[in-house]
Amino acid sequence: MQLPADFRPRVLAREWLAGTFLNLGSPLTVEIAGNAGFDWILIDHEHGPGGQDTLLHQLQAASATPAFPLVRIAENEPARFKRVLDMGAFGVMVPYVCSADETRAAVQAMRYPPRGLRGVAKATRASGYGADFETYRAHAHERLLTVIQIETTDAIRHIDDIAAVDGADVLFVGPSDLSYNMGIPDQLDSAPFIDALRAVADAAVRHGKAAGIFLPSSTHLDMVRELGFTFNAIGSDGGAVRAGLLGYAAVLRGK
């Protein structure tokens, strides 16, 4: 498996890159989304129902598409990184990161020694079952993407220190968690929330990183674009399926 050499540089250059979340645990929706025109897709193993066997099939489906596959793990633990990276994820999204120390721990888990502490196994899917291990190992630190989720008031307070960590490529806002933790649930138009977004975007620019966010709809897309967010996702496979089925049912019932 060849890690794309150009995707991480495009992210760090703050090119506009479009993504979506996949939370149904289905290889089929991964394949559909990957061929729908997104630059990247996020397989959600924090809130999604999938397990390790499901993830393998999802990543195999992603390989049949041009989209860059990321996996969101459930917790910032080295073993979780190792499992998804060895299966062939091209990047990892790390939830609920609140400090520079937690960010450094995530980056360490992404990288092989001497740059980090990722365990070395040569016969994994990521390295072509051993055929390409040395090439994979030599370039993994510069091609794998590390996405740090900003979801708490602590993360906003420490945003400059988090952004300064080498290897923290994307500062990615989870708007529901962040707004709830700020005491302003889903008030994405409020001045305090917009100030928090501006702090994230400004820190990303200062430190040569990208800012990103998940949006449930296109309502706030222009706002985040103007603030400088470039690595953005809209919607999910679950949301798309539900909306589509509700629409079909309404048509059939004459509503």
For 31-56, what is each residue's pLDDT tens digit? 999 999 999 999 999 999 988 889 99
Stated as kind and residue range, the H or E segment containing 226 is helix 221-227
Residues 6+ apart with CB under 8 A from 249: none
> Model-level pTM greater than 0.85?
yes
Q: How many angstroms separate the CA atoms of 70 and 41, rounded?
A: 6
Tens-binned pLDDT, residue by residue, of the chain (255 aa) = 789 999 999 999 999 999 999 999 999 999 999 999 999 999 999 999 988 889 999 999 999 999 999 999 999 999 999 999 999 999 999 999 999 999 999 999 999 999 999 999 999 999 999 999 999 999 999 999 999 999 999 999 999 999 999 999 999 999 999 999 999 999 999 999 999 999 999 999 999 999 999 999 999 999 999 999 999 999 999 999 999 999 999 999 997
CA trace torsion 61, 138, 7, 161 (10° rounding) = 110
Q: What end-to-end distance do the CA atoms of the chain give, in Å?
A: 49
Q: Give residue 110's identity as a one-letter amino acid code.
A: M
The residue from 45, 47, 57, 220 that is catalytic is 47
Q: How many angstroms separate the CA atoms of 116 and 105, rounded?
A: 9
Q: In the CATH scheme, what is the code of domain 7-252?
A: 3.20.20.60
Is position 47 annotated as part of the catalytic site? yes
